[in-house]
Amino acid sequence: MQRLAAAALIAAVAFAGTASAGTVNLTLDGVQPRGGRILVTVQSRDQFMKPAQTSGAVLDGSSSGQLKVALPNVPAGDYAISVLHDADQSWGMTMGADGKPAEGWTMNKAGDLRAKPTFDQVKVSLDGDASLTQTMMYPK
């Protein structure tokens, strides 16, 4: 009986070890040279839309076209990967008088969103290294 319990414990530890941290290689398409900075965040459900993150980066906002960023050591799990082109350098999303974003942004399924996103709408499941591409959305 003890051998069976020990074997089950070893199997559980081995199975838990299969989930691993990895690097998220993010490609941003359609970046416009609007100055400021581009803020990239990887957030868990508990961190979503709050000033907390699992991983992140700050990029030069004067670039245009395509940008690539590597976000290392992201543990396996579900995450929202959000990008804000913080042109006014306020460290937050500036909203227009119409209630819509006044700065560039993107996240998973950005083109399908019509209101403030929920975590479940934009989450991606990660387990090890991943390559993702997101297209920036800018106000007209």
For the chain, 140 residues long, the average pLDDT of each consecutive 10-residue run is 42 50 97 97 96 95 96 97 97 93 95 91 97 95
In a domain, 57, yes or no: yes
Q: What CATH number does the domain containing 71 carry?
A: 2.60.40
Structure confidence at residue 127 (pLDDT)? 96
In a domain, 41, yes or no: yes
Structure confidence at residue 38 (pLDDT)? 98
Task: Judge if pTM exceeds 0.85.
Answer: no
In a domain, 8, yes or no: no
In a domain, 95, yes or no: yes
Handedness of CA 97, 102, 106, 112 (dihedral sign): positive
In a domain, 37, yes or no: yes
Structural domains counted in the chain: 1
Structure confidence at residue 6 (pLDDT)? 41
- Residues of the domain holding 27: 20-135
* Residue type at position 99: G
In a domain, 13, yes or no: no
In a domain, 124, yes or no: yes
In a domain, 10, yes or no: no
